[in-house]
């Protein structure tokens, strides 16, 4: 069993490398000047400290009816509720997720995530990587539909949905072949609950979430892993500026040309320095073994 765990075929990914990470590493090799990245992190840190500073009280719960808020008991309840929500956010991953949100906003103009209930911290923010999701909005311009693609290991698949909902072939690979780290693609749809279409969801739950696994698993619930519902819209999708599209435009779009030019100029500068330090020299074959004065 120990040998099966240590020499499982799934650990080849640890040796060979994740294909996604390999592509990202190749793209990183093109970056010769990190100034754009530094500025992006600086902007995200500035938004975090200026808007949602964890070290100070940056929000306060209030009532829509200002007359009710004049009562002392109501003010006390609102203050206690504000402290409860603040403590919940401190315990959870809200603030690290906000930092990611600001970075995506500045770079791509669109950020997306889900606000989900959690057994340990009451709330958990699941941020979607750019390029792994599709969003749609209602007639008022509010994002109410999300389709995302998630990479999960078989261990994560079992922990999230239970072994009973896993396709039989994947459960066998997990239990009999030790394929704990084998990854599968899971599609997740979140959107308005269509009336009288999904029997497993109550009519008074306005949003539905369906998890579906890619592959030929028609014998196992048609590939459906879970059907869940929400009493609120769990989609968080802020956008920097929106122009005739559901996706936003951010500062990264404006600075993209300058960032490319900076990398090209850095490459040219390094080539000039290299030629100055170690200049290329050519001479006739007859001058072989002859001393050359390069001063």
Average pLDDT, the chain: 84
**Helix/strand/coil for 113:** strand
Q: What are phi and psi of 278, to 5 degrees?
A: -130, 75
Six-digit token string for 128: 């979607």
Instruction: Using the Cα atoms of residue 267, residue 273, residue 277 and residue 283 in order, give the sign of their dihedral.
Output: positive
The secondary structure element, H or E, covering residue 2 is helix 2-6
Convert the pLDDT of each residue in 210-249 to its tens digit. Answer: 898 877 665 667 788 888 999 999 999 999 999 888 999 9
> In the chain, pLDDT over 90 holds for what percent of residues?
50
**HEC string of 50-70?**
HHCCCCCCCCCCCCCCCCHHH
pLDDT exceeds cutoff 70 at 98: yes
Six-digit token string for 194: 């269509």
**HEC string of 225-269?**
EEEEEECCCCEECCECCECCCCCECCHHHHHHHHHHHHHHHHHHH
Sequential DSSP letters for 176-217: HS--TT-EEEEEEEEEE--TTT-TTS-TT--EEEEEEE-SS-
The answer to whether 61 and 40 have CB atoms below 8 angstroms apart is no
Average the pLDDT over 104-124 and give the result. Answer: 93
pLDDT exceeds cutoff 50 at 141: yes
pLDDT exceeds cutoff 90 at 126: yes
């Amino acid at each position: 069993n120990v040998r099966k765990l240590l020499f499982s075929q799934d650990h080849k990914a640890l040796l060979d490398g994740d294909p996604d990470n390999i592509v990202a590493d190749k793209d990183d090799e093109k970056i010769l000047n990190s100034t754009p990245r530094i500025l992006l992190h600086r902007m995200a840190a500035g938004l975090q400290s200026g808007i949602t500073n964890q070290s100070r009280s940056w929000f306060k719960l209030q009532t829509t009816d200002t007359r009710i808020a004049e009562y002392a008991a109501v003010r006390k309840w609102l203050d206690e509720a504000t402290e409860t929500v603040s403590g919940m956010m401190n315990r959870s991953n809200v603030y690290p997720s906000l930092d990611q949100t600001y970075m995506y906003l500045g770079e791509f103009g669109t950020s997306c995530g889900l606000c989900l209930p959690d057994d340990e911290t009451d709330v958990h923010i699941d941020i979607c990587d750019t390029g792994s999701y599709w969003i749609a909005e209602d007639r008022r311009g509010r994002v109410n539909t999300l389709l995302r693609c998630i990479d999960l290991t078989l261990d994560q698949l079992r922990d999230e949905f239970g072994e009973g909902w896993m396709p039989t072939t994947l459960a066998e690979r997990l239990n009999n072949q030790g394929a704990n780290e084998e990854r599968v693609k899971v599609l997740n749809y979140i959107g308005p609950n269509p009336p009288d279409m999904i029997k497993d969801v109550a009519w008074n739950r306005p949003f539905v979430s369906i998890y579906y696994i890619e592959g030929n698993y028609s014998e196992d619930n048609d590939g459906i892993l879970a059907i869940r519902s929400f009493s609120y819209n769990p989609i968080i999708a802020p956008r920097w500026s929106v122009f005739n599209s559901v996706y936003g435009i951010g500062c990264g779009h404006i600075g993209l040309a300058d960032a490319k030019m900076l990398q090209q100029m850095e490459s040219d500068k390094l080539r000039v320095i290299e030629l100055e330090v170690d200049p290329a020299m050519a001479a006739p074959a007859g001058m072989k073994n002859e001393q050359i004065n390069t001063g």
